[in-house]
Amino acid sequence: MSIKNAFSRLGITGRKIQRGEIYLIADALIVLPETRLPSRPERELHENRLVLILQTDFDNDTPLYPTILVAPLSHRVDLQDQRDFKLSAGQAGLEHDSIVQLGLIQPVLKIDLQGEALGRVDDIAMNDIDAVLAANLGLIERPRPR
């Protein structure tokens, strides 16, 4: 086994992953706890799901950290609540209006991110996402919807 293959098996690929990028991941790897409630219909698993990278670039570049923090995206903008952030079609390379489900932040393995980034959220939107994250954690008062 080559050194490159050995590192790859450990999740050390040398791939540059940056905060604010959007990737695909197998939908089955994303946890959506509310779909387990009896009052909710059974979750329809898709092949893949978009996720937004939230973790700092410093940690993303550290090969000894195999996991990365992400927030799942959904095209079901009708389900948006105050913990979410809406991105419009065309933003960050998205084909559809989507919500970033910031109440469902979770770690995933870096090696489970598929291919290259599909897009990147601009700095202004990331600042707004940071404000929603801070409000979700009780660090600041919740911003008023625009």
Domain count, the chain: 1
Integer distance in angstroms from the first to the last C-alpha of the chain? 54
Residue 141's pLDDT band, with cuts at 50, 70 and 90, is confident
The predicted model gives 39-63 an average pLDDT of 86
Q: Is the pLDDT of residue 9 over 70?
A: no
Angle at CA 60, nearest 5°, toward 52 and 91? 25
Residue 116 lies in a domain: yes
Chain mean pLDDT for the chain: 88
CA triple 62-66-70, angle to 5 deg: 95
Q: What average pLDDT does range 65-75 have in this prediction?
A: 95
**Residue 129 lies inside a defined structural domain of this protein:** yes
CATH number, position 35 = 2.30.30.110
**Does residue 104 belong to any structural domain of this protein?**
yes
Banded pLDDT at 50 (limits 50, 70, 90)? very high
**Whether residue 75 has pLDDT greater than 70:** yes
The reply to whether 123 falls in a domain is: yes
CA distances to 16, 80, 85, 93 from 88, in Å: 26, 13, 10, 10
**pLDDT at residue 71 in the model:** 98
Angstrom distance (rounded) from CA 104 to CA 92:
20
> Which residues, listed in sequence order, are joined to residue 109 by a DSSP beta bridge?
67
Structure tokens, 133: 């994250």
- Whether residue 113 has pLDDT greater than 90: yes
Residue 143 lies in a domain: no
Give pLDDT tens digits for 11-30: 566 789 999 999 999 999 99
Answer yes or no: is 72 within a domain.
yes
- Here the tokens at position 28 are 């089955």
Q: Name 13's Cβ contacts closer than 8 Å, sequence gap at least 6.
A: 7, 110, 111
Q: Which residues of 28-59 are buried (b: 16+ CB within 10 A; e: fewer)?
A: eebebeeeeeeeeeeeeeeeebbbbbbbeeee
Segments forming the whole domain that contains residue 26: 3-136
